[in-house]
C-alpha cells in the first residue's frame, strides 16, 4: 500500500473515530418511515463505527427521504442460487445518487461480532470495501452472510451494524409485498429516515 493511501486511510479512521466520539460511542436509534409503516433500528457504533458513521451521514443528510425498499429476497425467488437468503434491501433517493459518499471499508463480522440474525441491519455490497448507501435487513437468521459464509464467493461476508428493535412486523410485511423475482413491484417508498433522541 502506498504512503498516500495509508495517510488517506489514517485520516478517514480519525474522522470516523471523531464522529463516533461525538455520538458518545453508544447505540443510536434511527426510525425509518415507509408506505407500509415504520420500523426502528438500533445501531452499534461501538462495534461497527465505520459502518454506523457512514449510515448516519445518509440519514442526517436526508438521503433516504424519498428513497425506497426495492428488493425482497425470498426462498422461492432464488431457485437458481445455490445459497439462498431472506432479506429486504433499501436505498437512497435515486435523484441524489451523484451526491453519494465514497465506499467504505468492510467491517467483517469476525471482527465486530455482530452476526446476521433475524432483524439485523447490514450494508449491501459487491466486492469487499464497496458498500455505499444500500442497506438490508435479515428475515430470520442468515449465517451465510457472516464472515466465512458462502453467499458471496469471496467469503468476507457483509457489514452488520445493528438490529431492528421496533416494527419488525412492518419489515416482514415489506418482505411479503408483491414482487417480480427479487424486485418489489412497486417498490415501497421511504418517506423519512431520522435519528431518535436519546432517552
**How far apart, in whole angstroms, are the C-alpha atoms of residue 55 and residue 64?**
10
As a whole number, mean pLDDT of residues 54-67 equals 98
Query: What is the C-alpha separation between 159 and 105, in angstroms, rounded?
Result: 9
Domain ranges of the chain: 3-195
Helix H or strand E segment including 84: none
**Cβ atoms within 10 A of the Cβ of 111, count?**
12
What class, spelled out in words, does domain 3-195 have in CATH? mainly beta
Better pLDDT: 195 or 198: 195
Contact 116, 128 (CB under 8 A): no
**pLDDT tens digits for 83-101?**
999 999 999 999 999 999 9
**Residue range 69-91: mean pLDDT, rounded:** 94
The pTM assigned to this predicted structure is 0.87
Calculate mean pLDDT across residues 174-194: 97
Largest Cα span, the chain = 50
Amino acid at each position: 500500500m502506498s504512503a498516500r493511501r495509508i495517510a488517506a486511510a489514517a485520516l478517514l479512521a480519525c474522522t470516523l473515530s471523531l464522529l463516533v466520539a461525538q455520538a458518545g460511542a453508544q447505540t443510536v436509534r434511527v426510525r425509518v418511515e415507509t408506505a407500509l409503516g415504520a420500523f426502528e433500528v438500533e445501531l452499534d457504533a461501538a462495534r461497527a463505527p465505520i459502518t454506523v458513521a457512514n449510515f448516519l451521514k445518509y440519514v442526517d443528510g436526508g438521503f433516504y427521504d424519498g428513497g425506497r425498499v426495492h428488493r425482497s429476497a425470498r426462498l422461492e425467488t432464488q431457485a437458481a442460487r445455490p445459497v439462498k437468503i431472506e432479506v429486504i434491501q433499501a436505498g437512497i433517493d435515486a435523484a441524489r445518487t451523484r451526491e453519494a459518499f465514497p465506499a467504505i471499508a468492510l467491517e467483517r463480522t469476525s471482527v465486530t461480532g455482530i452476526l446476521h440474525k433475524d432483524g439485523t441491519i447490514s450494508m449491501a455490497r459487491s466486492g469487499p470495501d464497496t458498500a455505499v448507501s444500500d442497506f438490508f435487513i435479515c428475515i430470520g437468521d442468515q449465517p451465510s452472510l457472516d464472515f466465512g459464509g458462502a453467499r458471496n464467493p469471496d467469503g468476507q461476508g457483509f457489514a452488520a451494524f445493528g438490529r431492528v428493535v421496533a416494527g419488525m412486523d412492518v419489515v416482514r410485511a415489506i418482505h411479503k409485498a408483491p414482487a417480480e423475482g427479487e424486485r418489489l413491484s412497486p417498490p415501497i417508498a421511504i418517506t423519512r429516515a431520522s435519528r431518535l433522541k436519546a432517552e
